[in-house]
Amino acid sequence: MDGQSIQSMDIITKVLEQSVKQVEEKVDAQLSKLNEMDEDDLERLKERRLEALKKAQKQKQEWLSKGHGEYREIPSEKDFFGEVKESKNVVCHFYRNSTFRCKILDKHLAILAKKHVETKFIKLNVEKAPFLSERLRIKVIPTLALLIDGKTKDYVAGFSDLGNTDEFSTEMLEWRLGCADVINYSGNLMEPPTSAQRSSTKFTKVEKKTIRGRGYDSDSDSEDD
């Protein structure tokens, strides 16, 4: 090993040592803070945590009472407005019985509805929703309309955003919904969970479609039958 390589290794070693020292100091400070707490401080900390748990449970029960936690079909476009109005985050699948790819989405959405109770997952037959389909400019079947606070912020038309394959994973759809902020996504939005990720290929977060007219848009005029 030449002198330059040795010098580089010394620099790396010093940087690592400094990083470890900073972590140790942070942990020591936290431990010291805990040690300084008396019984009253610990009791107040316990009460705050218990209150946070109660609040989270209450929020979950409220979501469940509004139809979250399960993937449901709504009977008509009139019902759509009521469903959207009462929930902050909504994923609505516009489907057609004759389009087999809609059944593929059904399987994944049923799983995600149980996992992400903070979001309402519903489906609507486009043949029963001519006005809504026109207003949202639904051109591709299937299409997912992603709504936040009653407004359509994004959509997933067909499978082009999901790897352009029928074999996409539930995790891939979950990532795509996370990019639209319609679910609470805990993964890395910069790297979709695909096989390409394992080869260290980097991806950028999906760019949201340009909003036109009434706030709705479509990226295709063809149907994905």
Residue 134, classed as helix, strand or coil, is helix
- For the record, the structure tokens of 224 come out as 């994905």
At residue 2, the pLDDT reads 60
Domain locations in the chain as residue ranges: 3-63, 69-198
Residue 192's contacts (CB-CB under 8 Å, 6 or more residues apart) are: 163, 172, 175, 176, 203
Taking the whole predicted model, whether its pTM rises above 0.85 is answered as no
- CATH fold of 69-198, please? Glutaredoxin (3.40.30)
At residue 170, the pLDDT reads 97
Closest CA to 168 of 97, 98, 104: 104
At residue 26, the pLDDT reads 74
At residue 51, the pLDDT reads 81
Residue 90, classed as helix, strand or coil, is strand
Closest CA to 151 of 69, 81, 207: 81
At residue 145, the pLDDT reads 98
Residue numbers of the chain with a pLDDT score lower than 70: 1-15, 17, 19, 21, 25, 28-29, 31-38, 41, 195-225
Interval 25-41: pLDDT, tens: 677 667 666 666 667 76
At residue 10, the pLDDT reads 64
At residue 8, the pLDDT reads 61
